[in-house]
Amino acid sequence: MIEAIRTQARNLLENKEVDVIIGYAEGSDSTRTTPVFIRKPEEVSRLIFDPRCINSLPLYLNKRHEYPQKGWKRTGIIAKGCDIRAITQLIAENQLTREEVYIIGVPCDGVVSHFSKWDGRLHDGNQATKCAECDVHTPTDCDFFPGERPEVDRSAPYKVSAPQVLNLMGLNTDKRFDYWRQEFDRCFKCYACREVCPHCSCNICITDRTQPNWVDQAAHTKGVFAWHITRAMHLVGRCTGCGECTRACPMDIQVDLFNQRLKDVVQESFGYKSGYSQDEKPPLITYKTDDSEDFIQ
Amino acid sequence: MSKKIPRHDFEPKIMAFVCKWCTYSGADLAGTSRMDYSPNVRMVRLPCSGRIDPQFLIKTFEQGVDGVIVSGCHPGDCHYNEGNYYARRRNLAFRQLLDFQGIDLGRLEFSWISAAEAIKWTKVIDAFTDRVRALGPHKQYHELIDPYDHYLEAA
Ligand code: SF4
Ligand code: SF4
Ligand code: SF4
């Protein structure tokens, strides 16, 4: 499979169809991979793909990162099914156009939840949560796919959230508050969870603005709560569930539980699944006159 | 004229974010008609319920408020035609978010109150104040704001 991808990548670069291929390469040790930007055809042999290829590369397609750089026509990207959902969502949000990107889809059976969990093979103990409920093992919309692509029915709803979300929902409100209070006590506001998110598109994040100061910058539980509520709210109906925020968190806080919970809310209340349509408007920038209002007096 | 005002051990602080076309006018009508309603509420007038950013609500909790009301025009009555429809979706999601965070939804209220519904306004405010009073001070959030507060109290 990887040979077919390398050959295609070389052809694309040689024919100047794309200016760069964003993919994965071996990292600093045998458990790690790293994102690479391949610009020369002779370097395509660096490209790899295996369950260690965790990073969500569509991050680099967000306008915030200013790729494609000036003068670049088209960006090639190696994308798993979930990455393609992220790209689709970026297109729906006008972060890029479909023509600007050349998607090399890869079939994926799952990735590890964290590099440190890699022990040579993928098993239930080290698989990322998103992979258990994945319906895009075979990518949806791509320009190149190594081998035959079977038809897959993707009309089913998302599976309900990870077990942790359901466990938390089963607790009473005060217990939930205590849980988050303990978790957020560790957060020191490094903003890694924001930096890795493909859908945090703001050039200046609201938490970095000091005039007016909406989110307290101090890594104090008050500021941390405000930050996580804000972040989750900004990603309602936009998060494609890549799980990068949780993986990136140096303090092991499962920040994406919020996003998963809201994914369910959005699906139940507005019938929207993020990352499946380039044209459908994200739920909070549109409305129906008969939306549910049972919480309103 | 004097009416007996009941005394309570705890008077909640309540914040209301209201749209200027409907709810504010409704509250104004309540005032000009000299209707009695709970004085615990502090109002902020905004152009439209669609302008009421969830950020405002987070900020009010941070500032030690015990309950928050968001109120605007009935669906179809929005002065800007559709602002309240966006507000409805946003607040639906926001409530679920706060619920997941562990904040009691009893401390949040959303209502449609038109410029003519002064009576509804007084009823909503009174009922909400009673509800929040029963829930007590929003201790959890107060402790977040100042985690060392109780050391001072003990001293
Ligand atoms: S919020 Fe987290 S899971 Fe959702 S898209 Fe952003 S990084 Fe991925
Ligand atoms: S948290 Fe909100 S304001 Fe900050 S980058 Fe993400 S979407 Fe933008
Ligand atoms: S990555 Fe973790 S520690 Fe850093 S800001 Fe996000 S939740 Fe806090």
ipTM of the complex: 0.88
Name the pLDDT band for A2 (thresholds 50, 70, 90). confident
Q: What is the pLDDT of residue B128?
A: 94
* CA closest to A177 among chain B residues: B102
Best probe of the B interface among A173, A176, A238, by most B CBs < 10 A, is A173
Q: Are residues A211 and A102 in the same domain?
A: no
Structural domain contains residue A292: no
The string of pLDDT tens digits covering residues B36-72 is: 999 999 999 999 999 999 999 998 988 889 999 999 9
Q: Is the CB of A137 under 6 A from ligand 3?
A: no
Q: State yes or no: pLDDT of B112 exceeds 90.
A: yes
% of chain A exceeding 90 in pLDDT: 34
pLDDT, chain A, mean: 87
Residues A120 and A210 in one domain: no
Q: Say yes or no: A100 and A180 in one domain.
A: no
A262 vs B88, B89, B96: nearest CB:
B96
Residue A295 lies in a domain: no
Residue A143 falls inside a structural domain: no
State whether A236 and B95 contact (CB < 8 Å).
no
Q: Residue B15: what pLDDT?
A: 93
Ligand 2 atom nearest residue A231's Cα: 1
Residue A128, domain member (yes or no)? yes
In this structure, the answer to whether residues A247 and A201 fall within a common structural domain is yes
| SS3 state of residue B48 | coil
A66 in the Ramachandran plot: left (φ > 0), alpha (ψ -120 to 50) or beta?
left
For residues A146-174, average pLDDT: 76
Q: How far apart (Å, rounded) are the C-alpha atoms in residues A284 and A287?
A: 7
Interface of A with B in 22-51 (CB under 8 A): none
Of B142, B121, B143, B123, the closest CA to residue B131 belongs to: B123
**Partners of residue A33 on adjacent β-strands:** A26
Q: Given this model, what pLDDT does residue B14 score?
A: 94
Q: Which of A182, A228, A285, A287 to mutate to test the interface with B (most CBs of B within 10 A)?
A: A287
pLDDT value at residue B46: 94
Give the per-residue pLDDT at A132. 83
pLDDT over 70 percentage in chain B? 90
Count each helix (H run) and each strand (E run) in chain A, helices first. 9, 4
Contact B86 A284 (CB under 8 A): yes
Ligand 1 centroid vs B64 CA: distance in angstroms? 31
- Chain A to chain B Cβ contacts (< 8 Å): 113
Domain edge (last residue) among A80, A111, A132: A132
Q: How far is CA B21 from CA B24, B28, B33, B68, in A?
A: 6, 11, 18, 19
The reply to whether A183 and A276 lie within a common domain is yes
The pLDDT of residue B1 is 47
Q: Which of A163-177, B79-93, B139-153 has the highest mean pLDDT?
A: B79-93
Q: Cα of A34 to ligand 1 centre, how many Å?
A: 19
Written as one letter, the residue type at B146 is D
Residue A258 lies in a domain: yes
**What is the whole-number distance in angstroms between the Cα of residue A202 and the centre of ligand 2?**
6
Across A46-52, average pLDDT: 91
Residue A181's domain comprises 163-285
Question: In this complex, is the C-beta atom of A269 within 8 Å of any C-beta atom belonging to chain B?
Answer: yes
Q: How confident is the model at residue B33 (pLDDT cuts 50, 70, 90)?
A: very high
Hey, where are the domains in chain B?
Answer: 14-154
Question: Which residue type occupies A113?
Answer: S
- Find the mean pLDDT for residues A45-64: 90
Q: Is residue A252 part of a domain?
A: yes
Alpha helices in chain B (DSSP H): 23-32, 54-62, 83-101, 118-135, 139-145, 149-154
CATH 1.20.120 fits B14-154, yes or no: no
Distance from residue B90's CA to the centre of ligand 3 (Å): 25
CA distance A143 to A103: 5
Residue A201 counted as domain residue:
yes
Does A191 reside within a domain?
yes
Counted domains in chain A: 2
